[in-house]
Amino acid sequence: MGEKKGRKSISDLKKELKEKNKQIEEYMTRIKYLQADFDNLEKRVAKEKEEIKKIAKEDLILKLIDVYENLERAVKDGHRTRKKDLLKGLEMTYRQLRDILKDEGLEEIKAVGEKFDPFLHEAVLRENRKDCEAGVILEEYQRGYKLNDRVIRYSKVKVAER
């Protein structure tokens, strides 16, 4: 019997199937290579991220070494000089450390007199007060801080209530 027009023979179909299987194998090989490349990229990015952390830490430590050495000198000088000079040296070192932390993005969270904000403050005590508005912070027990606009330590506070 003759083949109808538009129909493929079994041998043509087998040949076509063989080509498709070869193409699938090539795609699978490509996928495996891409997966390996992706895995290597993930490992490289993780390693670079750790390296960046080390470098950032190194920069901060280098800045803090001066403060450390200034405190060391102040302690040594405190043993042989007057207290007034020691206090002056400590104040200078305090300002130096404060400025370094500020330059690194550290910011103090305002508390006393502010309205309580659970995203900035942690209420550790409440006091019944009629002389001020409820929710106002009366006292700060531990200062809170933000680092680059992200809270890293909440202020521990006493809050007025009615």
Answer whether 128's CB lies under 8 Å from 161's CB.
Answer: yes
Where do the structural domains in the chain lie, given as residue ranges? 10-104, 107-162
**Count of residues making up the chain:** 162
What's the pLDDT at 5? 60
What's the pLDDT at 4? 56
Answer whether 157's CB lies under 8 Å from 122's CB.
Answer: yes
105: left (phi over 0), alpha (psi -120 to 50) or beta: left
Low-confidence ranges of the chain (pLDDT < 70): 1-6, 79, 82
What's the pLDDT at 1? 47
Can you state the angle between helices 10-80 and 83-103, rounded to 10 degrees? 170
What's the pLDDT at 32? 96
- Residue 53 tokens read as 């952390």
Measuring CA to CA, which residue among 82, 151, 160 is closest to residue 121?
A: 151
- Residue 148 tokens read as 């680059």
* 110 φ/ψ angles, rounded to the nearest 5 degrees: -70, 145
What's the pLDDT at 105? 87
Rounded distance, CA 111 to CA 133, Å? 15
> Class of the 107-162 domain?
mainly beta
- Residues 37-54 pLDDT 10s: 999 999 999 999 988 887
8-state DSSP, 5 = T
- Does pTM top 0.75 for this prediction? no
